[in-house]
Amino acid sequence: MRCPYCGEQESRVVDSRGVDDGVRRRRKCLACNMRFTTYERVQPHDIFVIKKDGRREEFKRDKLLSGIRKACEKRPLPTGAIDKFIDDIEADLYRLGKTEVPSSYIGDLVMEGLKKLDHIAYIRFASVYREFADIGALKQEVDSLAARRESTPANQLSLPSSEVANSVVGRRR
């Protein structure tokens, strides 16, 4: 680790302490005696998403985030809920310890999570992700959600299914 003041390569570690996701080291340059700090972090391995058509694409948090933001547009979610949601999905993916993950696996994780987070966002995401063939298939999904009304988050009113279907269909026109 090169000294930022004089460029010397050699330094001595004078203090070392663990921080959230790594180690913080206080160093003293052997040439100029200036002190500086370095951080060591574990770099999670890259994950590649295998698309339906077999193409490989590097997993990008931002891409996932923008899709989920779109689904959650104007939904009454607490601040930070979407970021936390993405954090959890990312953590799940890295925990798998695999370098390649099918896009359907990620899609399913998102669907499961959104179902708990917000029903409208779930339906919006599902209508794009599952590419509902027609309004009948969409209505079926909405009805099955309505049947599971007991799992509606406490702070969220459930809407009549026709209203949900209209809001989705309206967006796609």
Residue ranges binding Zn ion (CB under 5 A) = 3, 5-6, 8, 29, 31-32
What gap in Å lies between CA 89 and CA 34, rounded to an integer? 42
Minimal distance, residue 74 CB to Zn ion, in Å:
54
Minimal distance, residue 9 CB to Zn ion, in Å:
9
Nearer to Zn ion, 33 or 99 (CB): 33
Nearer to Zn ion, 1 or 32 (CB): 32
What gap in Å lies between CA 28 and CA 13, rounded to an integer? 6
Minimal distance, residue 8 CB to Zn ion, in Å:
4
What gap in Å lies between CA 100 and CA 56, rounded to an integer? 8
Minimal distance, residue 34 CB to Zn ion, in Å:
5
Nearer to Zn ion, 2 or 60 (CB): 2
Minimal distance, residue 29 CB to Zn ion, in Å:
3
108: three-class secondary structure by DSSP:
helix
Nearer to Zn ion, 26 or 75 (CB): 26
Contact at 8 Å (CB) between 114 and 125?
yes
Nearer to Zn ion, 1 or 135 (CB): 1
The helix (H) or strand (E) run that includes residue 13 is strand 11-19
Site of tokens 């027609």: 134
How far is C-alpha 65 from the geometric centre of its chain's CA atoms?
6
